[in-house]
A and B are shown apart, each in its own frame.
Chain A
Amino acid sequence: MQGSVEDIEIDLLLEAIYQFYHYDFRHYARASIKRRLLQARDRMGFSSFSAMQEKLLHDPAMLPGLLNYLTVQVSEMFRDPSYFRALREKVVPHLKTYPSLKLWVAGCSNGEELYSLAILLREEGLNRRAMIYATDINPDALQAAEAGVYPLDQIRKFTENHQKSGARSSLSDYYTADYGRAVFDKRLRERVVFSDHSLVTDAVFAEMHLISCRNVLIYFDRELQDRAIGLFHESLARKGFLGLGSKESLRFSGQAAGFSDFVREEKIYQRRDLS
């Protein structure tokens, strides 16, 4: 089928963003990226994607704003509590057998998932031996993750989720309330490294024991998903764990053979080595 003018313009815009700024959205799931680009176009007041492209190529100051449309920063702490419960009950006992641990939260957004894991590790007595790598491509999100400050009105939901995850402490032990915001204890990020890393264009990390990458792969097309999953396979230690979002799975992936189901309902996999 021949693409509409709008679709051609979107292809060209994504190509321009890639060539000039090295952010590669060309193989993101199209329907959703198109929706978000339409939103950006209308709210930024452009009459067409071509007009938007012209401005973008000549005014780098426009990029961060556009990135906030192209990437989706929607998250919560202990999102899908049963996932965190499964980590706690099924994965932690294995993690306890290692003297030192490396964990990777890929696509950490504003840090909600990262702090959830950090709190879980503390509750399970693993925080001192664990390093966590928190990565994302959106600089604003990384900054927010590093700050660890959330609107107080989200805390009720976060607390409820935390409790359902099998909490051994109270969420309020980890933040102080301040002018309508919850400021999370900076000790939670003592052993966290934040960095800009793209699952599309960047290379492997070394020897991770657990990679948690939730609700990032759904934004990719098949080909990109396979690349990212290959990257995870290479970045995991032998028998390392990979956790995905509740609607993501390795079932249709070309990389499925490299993993076995560990907690199937929670999309937690374990690296398998064919030797």
Chain B
Amino acid sequence: MTERPQAVVIGASAGAVQALLKVLPALPATYPIPILVVVHVPSDRDNALVGLFADKCLLKVKEAEEKEPALGGTIYFAPSDYHLLVEQDGTLSLSSDEPVHHSRPAIDVLFQSAADAWGEALAGIILTGANHDGAAGLRAIVEAGGAAIVEDPASAEMPAMPLAALASCPGAKRLGLESIHSYLLELVEK
């Protein structure tokens, strides 16, 4: 990544909450770029993630809304039962297209559209999970010149998703959760 980063996207599945709790809460309220998160949650359950993380994070946490601009200082969670996408102008879109990898929201859908919108000014992070969602999306980010980070499968609660991401992006940085947190801090120091 050569350009100043404009956004971070994160995908996580089984084990997501514990992992995200090590990465997000201590980020400062002034964190200058938006963080967009897709977590696989059962479709008919109300999305409790926002409440949970809003209580624990210094950053503002909200559910992503249709057509709102992605702003710094904010963590956006994809609503359950909708895909989250990024438009060329950095605004957010939702769609009720078919599930991808049996998931809606799907990580691939967010990552591919974000790669298209932000190109090399984007960092993508794949955390714990028991499926393969995110592998293709992370690859799209790499192909657009962005940065790819994968939670170390050796310490991930569920290694399958990190392993799949590493298989499709062999050059991705492989980091433990604490290092991912520090990486996010360094990312915006430049």
Which chain A residues have a beta carbon within 8 Å of chain B's beta carbons? Answer: 1, 29-32, 34-36, 72, 74, 215, 218-219, 222, 245, 247-249, 252
Contact partner, A29, options B68, B79, B93, Cβ 8 Å: B93
CB–CB B113/A35 < 8 A: yes
Q: Which residues of A contact B65 (CB under 8 A)?
A: 247, 249
CB–CB B93/A31 < 8 A: yes
Task: Give A222 to B65 CA distance when docked, in angstroms.
Answer: 13
Contact partner, B116, options A31, A36, A219, Cβ 8 Å: A31
CB–CB B85/A35 < 8 A: yes
CB–CB A252/B67 < 8 A: yes
Q: Which residues of A contact B79 (CB under 8 A)?
A: 247
Q: A32-B85, A247-B79 are in contact. Are A218 and B96 (CB under 8 A)?
A: yes
Task: Give A181 to B68 CA distance when docked, in angstroms.
Answer: 41
Cross-chain pairs A/B with CB under 8 angstroms, 14 sampled: A29-B85, A30-B88, A31-B86, A31-B88, A32-B85, A34-B113, A34-B116, A35-B113, A36-B97, A218-B66, A218-B82, A218-B96, A247-B82, A247-B94
| Central interface residue in B65, B85, B94, by most chain A CB within 10 Å | B94
Task: Give A215 to B95 CA distance when docked, in angstroms.
Answer: 8
Contact partner, A32, options B67, B95, B117, Cβ 8 Å: B95
Q: A30-B87, A32-B93, A35-B112 are in contact. Are A74 and B98 (CB under 8 A)?
A: yes
Task: Give A249 to B65 CA distance when docked, in angstroms.
Answer: 10
Nearest-CB residue, chain A, relative to B108 = A35
Q: Which residues of B contact A248 (CB under 8 A)?
A: 66
Nearest-CB residue, chain A, relative to B100 = A35
Nearest-CB residue, chain A, relative to B64 = A247
By Cβ-Cβ distance, the 5 closest A-B pairs, closest first, are: A31-B85, A31-B113, A32-B95, A29-B93, A215-B96
Task: Give A115 to B66 CA distance when docked, in angstroms.
Answer: 27
Additional A-B contact list (7), CB under 8 Å, known A29-B95, A247-B94: A29-B87, A31-B87, A32-B85, A35-B85, A245-B96, A249-B65, A252-B67
Q: Which residues of A contact B116 (CB under 8 A)?
A: 31, 34
User: Quick one: CB contact mask for B21-47 with A, threshold 8 Å, 1 for yes?
Assistant: 000000000000000000000000000
Contact partner, A218, options B88, B95, B117, Cβ 8 Å: B95
- How many Cβ-Cβ contacts under 8 Å join chain A to chain B? 56
CB–CB B88/A219 < 8 A: no
- Determine the interface band of chain B, counting residues with CB < 8 A from chain A: 20 to 34
Q: Which residues of A contact B125 (CB under 8 A)?
A: none
Give the Cβ gap from B170 to chain A, nearest Cβ, in Å.
24
Task: Give A30 to B116 CA distance when docked, in angstroms.
Answer: 11
Q: Which residues of A contact B113 (CB under 8 A)?
A: 31-32, 34-35
Q: Which residues of A contact B109 (CB under 8 A)?
A: 35
Task: Give A222 to B86 CA distance when docked, in angstroms.
Answer: 15
Q: Which residues of B contact A249 (CB under 8 A)?
A: 65-66
Task: Give A249 to B94 CA distance when docked, in angstroms.
Answer: 12
Nearest-CB residue, chain B, relative to A1 = B88
Q: A31-B85, A31-B87 are in contact. Are A219 and B95 (CB under 8 A)?
A: yes
Give the Cβ gap from B81 to chain A, nearest Cβ, in Å.
8
User: Quick one: CB contact mask for B45-71 with A, threshold 8 Å, 1 for yes?
Assistant: 000000000000000000001111000
Give the Cβ gap from B30 to chain A, nearest Cβ, in Å.
26
Give the Cβ gap from B61 to chain A, nearest Cβ, in Å.
17
Q: Which residues of B contact A1 (CB under 8 A)?
A: 88
Task: Give A219 to B93 CA distance when docked, in angstroms.
Answer: 8
Task: Give A222 to B89 CA distance when docked, in angstroms.
Answer: 13
Nearest-CB residue, chain A, relative to B63 = A247
Q: Which residues of A contact B117 (CB under 8 A)?
A: 31
Task: Give A222 to B88 CA distance when docked, in angstroms.
Answer: 14
Q: Which residues of B contact A74 (CB under 8 A)?
A: 96-98
Q: Which residues of A contact B88 (CB under 8 A)?
A: 1, 30-31
CB–CB B94/A72 < 8 A: no
User: Quick one: CB contact mask for B108-120 with A, threshold 8 Å, 1 for yes?
Assistant: 0100110011000
CB–CB B94/A218 < 8 A: yes
Nearest-CB residue, chain A, relative to B88 = A30
Nearest-CB residue, chain B, relative to A73 = B98
Task: Give A144 to B95 CA distance when docked, in angstroms.
Answer: 22
